[in-house]
Structure 1
Amino acid sequence: MKNTETMMTKQWRPFIHFTPEKNWLNDPNGMVYFNDMYHLFFQYNPTGDKHGNMHWGHAQSTDLVNWQEKDIAIYADPDGLGYVFSGGAVVDVNNTSGLGDGTVPPLVATFTHHSKDEVQVQSLAYSQDGGDTWVEYANNPVIANPGLKDFRDPKVIWDEENSQWVMALAVEHFIYFYISSNLIDWTFASQFGEGYGTHGRVWECPDLFPLTTPCGITKWVLIVSLDPAGPNGGTGTQYFIGEFDGKQFISDHTETRWLDYGPDNYAGVTWDGLQPTSNKRIFIAWMSNWVYANDLPTNPWRGGMTLPRELTLVNSSKGIMLANLPSDDITSLKAEFTLTDANTLPESCAYEVVWKFDKSLGDNSITFFNSEDEKLVISYVAENNEIQLDRTQSGWNEKGFGRVATAPLKMTDENTIECSIIIDQSSVEVFTEKGLTTLTSNIFPKVPYSEFTITRTSQLECFTLINKVTS
């Protein structure tokens, strides 16, 4: 009898999503772009496939598709300041920190040290060789704990208008903002959160940055993850759009706005360092949920990332909202796949099905299925004007995994709905309403889905994306 705990699960290794070669992964950390290289750091346990013993793992890519996993970047110090929790990284172009050697700008990472006694403080590390090796700042921590249990996940950005560094920090149910001229000496500026959005047990992994609308209006965006109280149970990520005056963030709205309605999009933040080139904000998130994250059936790895997505501001009937769609690096992979009469799906690749339908005709659905009688159902429910993602019969279904996720459509004046559905071995990501409504979900079918059916007349296109494992 085979030991299911040690069986390799190559059938679930994705083609175009990042996963570590082995062991546990969660939050993306320290994403920074420098010298034509995207750096992805992440919460990593080098000694096991469950959460604990947190270090910063490291991978890098030139195209956001093909990733090379590197050595551990920042090591835990259990007998010192502690384990290395989440944070960010920036290019210190003008060497304001004085941590550079004067030849190239240093990369500076800000992160949380979490001690054995569960005391959380904010620390620095820096790299003088473009991110390959890192040195911890000798006088860590740079922000001591003021006596709070949840005090973590610093994300820093350069505020060009005010010539200062700004840190967003998750503190219990709020976001604290700190400012600095040198990344080392920090001053508390303000806090945000009371009366805004959804408050679960704790807020986590904030990110603050400006974006400009197609009409040329610049707004500030604040992303906040929370656990629990997500839109469909467990974890979730909300966002706020407003103004930042260099000290205080003021949201234009109090209601909750979800970045993604699926169960498996958490702790996402954006790459820094793109400002001199495209000024894009490319986002990536941990594709899991704390309800079952430690029990997912993959081996020898556990945990992966969503597709990289470009965040943009969109003018809608409900005002300015945040959209997220796969980055150009992903969409450039597309090659058209001709569907047969039997709607047979492509084999041995990630693929996209573009499903277009008229919602005025009522309920509609597309069902992906395999030879094991497993199925994934994506539906439009007219009564609620929502998209549903039903994975209750999609394959592995334990530890609270089986669920139906729902996402309300926002653009009520449109009848033609286009859903981009990207399936990659063990994940499905649905993008509709030009990225205003998205759902991200893990799936673990015994064998790949081989065909699909639809319940009403629809327009369908199918594209292959890539046909080789790159992780």
Structure 2
Amino acid sequence: MTDAAPPPDRPVCHFTPPVGWMNDPNGLVHHAGEWHLYYQHHPDSLVWGPMHWGHAVSRDLLTWEHLPIALAPDEHGTIFSGSAVVDRDGVAGYGPGAMLAFYTYHRERDQGQGLAVSLDAGRTWTKHAGNPILLPPAGDVDFRDPRVLRYQDPAGPVWWVMVVAAGRVLRFYRSDDLLVWTPTGTFADPAGDDLAVLETPELFELPIDDGAERAWVLAFGQTTGGPQGGSGARYVVGGFDGERFTPSDGDAEVRWADHGADFYAAQSWTDSPDGRRIWVAWMNNWAYAERTPATTWRGVLSIPRELGLARDTVGQLRLTQRPVDELTRAQQPLLDLREPDLETAQQQLARVRGAGLDVTLEVEFASEGEGHLELAVHHGPAGATRVGYDPVSGEVVVDRSGSGGALDPVAPSGALDPVAPGGALDPVAPGRHRSPPLGRRAAVELRVLVDTTSIEVFADGGAVVLSVLAFPLPGATGLHLDVEGARIARLAVAAVTAGG
């Protein structure tokens, strides 16, 4: 990224705040036919500040209705991240079907967990009179982002679980009434970055290879030491007994959920009506989040992704991610070529332009470990972001260094005025992103989701994902393909037509 980029247009299919600053998604829950999305929000500034919970609802995960701010700071502090559940049995005393939001109160070196209640399907909230409901253990300065879930013991009993990020560890609690919480255990990543603070924990169970066998996934944000520098999201697979999480035998590795620079604070929706586990993340990186181009708003979320677990070639479990099916239903096919020669593919792609594009590319290499594959997106006179596969290293590559845009070298004051970016992106953030090696492959399939300022690449059945921000100059809405030593098996492009 070199030249100054203009303030970004609204994305076609990715969520943005109506105004002001946004970071972590919060309180994701499906209730009464609506997908609720709350989020960390500073409505009066373009940079991080006194946190509120913004709010939007959707019936399709793509088109969102913005609603009034749900939670605002009070005498206990500002409102940090958390989660929401529906208390169907009324164990908290607010009646069956009450929505409960759990969040962190933050004051300087002082954090504790708060509770708010909604009796009108999440439209208005009343804070619990006994707040805060959970204070940190002695010595814990960082104690935040409660993830609450309902746990059904195989023997029959039901109770509630809370996971809280506490510096370098995650703390587990249980409760029968959602008000009084008892500590049950901790988890720490033995190979984690000693300087990192853990945030935004997430815990859920998934089927393995869509079968009857299941395993638990524990995920969290890490503030430093990310796969491309700065922040990132991690996960580990194992078992959970309602009190303690135990990594899988022989596979206790904590892995990156996304290998791009811009995927953080991933959270999933509770009570999805069809049993899917769907999560979304903040597409940014704390290394430069306050310096991305902005007009009257700053912050974008990833596309909602359906999650799964799959065994790799050596039998270890990997988290898989793919865009939700709702995205496919909101598209208009532009082309679908089977086994075209390169000239035909390039000619057809030259006619395709659009701010939101979903590209599927399947390529078969003539010789293992040889050849070249590169798809240029945001392609225009001033440059492009380049997505490819390196058959020598076996890595998926996203290179935004020639995309045409740059970050603002100095964070703005926070006023709701346009930010005119300038200066070089590097070395604050990498231009070239590489995934872990997939191994040398005779055939590769990539799905590339392109929006106005973002690229999300899904490879290896969704086990490898790279999410990257890029800021193209005006007119950079084209595609271009280069292939050497390989045959194009399929090239399909669709225009995304919904979002908000």
Report 1:262-411 matches (<5 A).
262-274=260-272, 277-318=273-314, 319-338=316-335, 341=347, 343-344=349-350, 346-359=352-365, 360=368, 361-368=370-377, 370-398=379-407, 399=409, 400-410=428-438
CA deviation after TM superposition for structure 1 residue 413, in Å: 7.5
- Show CA shifts across 1:278-337 (max 9, x none): 221100000111111101112111001000001111122132211010011112223321
Q: Does 1:53 align with 2:50?
A: yes
**SS of match in other structure, 1:408:** coil
Q: 1:364 offset after TM fit, Å?
A: 2.3
Q: Which runs of 5+ in 1 are unaligned?
A: none
Is the 1:177–1:248 Cα contact (8 Å) retained in structure 2? yes
Which secondary structure state, in structure 2, belongs to the residue aligned with residue 12 of structure 1? Answer: coil
TM-aligned CA distance change 1:462 to 1:220, over 3 Å: same
Instruction: Return the letter of the residue paired with 2:264.
Output: Y
Which of 223, 226, 230 matches 1:227?
223
User: Is 2:268–2:280's contact at 8 Å kept on the other side of the alignment?
Assistant: yes
Give secondary structure in 1 for the equivalent of 2:349: coil
Query: Contact conserved, 2:39 with 2:55, CA < 8 A, in 1?
Result: yes
* Structure 2 residue 166 is the aligned partner of structure 1 residue 175: no
Q: Residue in 1 aligned with 2:196?
A: 201
Q: State the distance in 2 between where 1:212 and 1:402 align.
A: 35
Counterpart check, 1:121 vs 2:112: yes
- From 442, 445, 453, the equivalent of 1:418 is 445
Q: Does 1:246 align with 2:218?
A: no
Single out whichever of 313-322 and 242-251 deviates more from structure 2: 313-322
CA gap of 1:424–1:42, structure 2 versus 1, over 3 A, is same
Normalising by structure 2, we get a TM-score of 0.87
Q: Secondary structure at the match of 1:434?
A: helix
Instruction: Give the C-alpha shift of residue 94 in structure 1.
Output: 0.5
CA contact 1:348–1:467 (8 Å) conserved in 2: no
Aligned residue for 2:446, secondary structure, equals strand
The answer for unaligned runs of 5 or more in structure 2 is: 336-344, 410-427
- Residue correspondences, number: 455
Map of 1:467 onto structure 2: 497
Of 140, 145, 150, the residue aligned with 2:142 is 150
> What do residues 102-157 of structure 1 show as CA deviations (whole Å, max 9, x unaligned)?
5xx00111110001x33010110111011111111110011112231111010011
Shift of 1:13: 1.1
Mapped partners of 2:328, 2:359: distance in 1? 13
Counterpart in 2 of 1:16? 13
Q: How does 1:434-453 map to 2 (within 5 A)?
A: 434-447=461-474, 448-453=476-481
Tell me the equivalent position of 1:140.
Answer: 131
CA–CA distance in structure 1, aligned partners of residues 447 and 194 of structure 2: 31
The corresponding residue for 2:423 is none
Superposed CA offset, 1:36-90 (max 9, x none): 100000000011110011000001000001001110000112xx11000000001
**Corresponding residue of 2:339:** none
Contact 1:428 1:441 (8 Å CA) reproduced: yes
Is 2:354–2:477's contact at 8 Å kept on the other side of the alignment?
no
Which residue identity lines up with residue 417 of structure 1 in the other structure?
V
Q: How do residues 45-124 of structure 1 correspond to structure 2 at under 5 angstroms? A: 45-77=42-74, 80-100=75-95, 105-115=97-107, 117-124=108-115
Query: Compared with structure 1, are the counterparts of its residues 369 and 163 closer, same or farther at alpha carbon in structure 2 (3 Å cutoff)?
Result: closer
Q: Please give the alpha-carbon distance, in whole angstroms, between the structure 2 residues aligned to 1:193 and 1:340.
A: 50
Alignment partners' CA distance in 1, 2:268 and 2:357:
25
Report the alpha carbon displacement of residue 174 of structure 1 after superposing the two structures with TM.
0.9
CA RMSD of aligned residues (A): 2.0
Between the aligned partners of 1:178 and 1:128, the Cα distance in structure 2 is 25
Range with greater deviation from structure 2 (39-48 or 154-163): 154-163
Question: In 2, distance between residues paired with 1:33 and 1:199?
Answer: 36
Change (3 A) 1:197 1:250: farther
Paired residue for 2:34? 37
- Secondary structure at the aligned position of 1:341 is classed as helix
In 2, Cα distance between equivalents of 1:24 and 1:420: 30
Q: Aligned-pair distance for 1:459?
A: 3.6
- AA aligned to 1:259 is A
What amino acid is the match of 2:252? Answer: T
Q: 2:455 aligns with which of 425, 428, 433?
A: 428
Distance 1:444 1:203, change over 3 A: same
- With over 3 angstroms needed to count, the CA separation of the structure-2 counterparts of 1:234 and 1:127, relative to structure 1, is same
Maintained 8 Å contact 1:345/1:452: no
Whole-angstrom distance in 1 between the partners of 2:125 and 2:191: 37
Percent identity of the aligned residues?
Answer: 32
Paired with 2:219 and 2:206, the residues of 1 have a C-alpha distance of: 13
Report which structure shows greater RCO (CA 8 Å, sep ≥6).
2
> Deviation per CA, 1:193-247, whole angstroms, max 9, x where unpaired?
1425555511111111111122311211101110111111111111111011121
In structure 2, how many angstroms separate the alpha carbons of the residues matched to 1:225 and 1:345?
40
- How many Å separate the matches in 1 of 2:230 and 2:304? 22
Q: Could you tell me how far apart the structure 1 residues matched to 2:442 and 2:382 are?
A: 33
1:279 to 1:370, Cα distance in 2 relative to 1, 3 A: closer
2:425 aligned partner: none
Is the deviation greater in 21-30 or in 393-402? Answer: 393-402
Q: How far off is 1:163 after superposition?
A: 0.7
SS in 2 for 1:261: coil
Q: Following TM superposition, by how much is the alpha carbon of 1:168 offset from its aligned partner in structure 2, in angstroms?
A: 0.9
Contact 2:216 2:237 in 1 (8 A): yes
User: Matches of 2:189 and 2:443 in 1, distance apart?
Assistant: 38
- Equivalent residue, structure 1, for 2:340: none
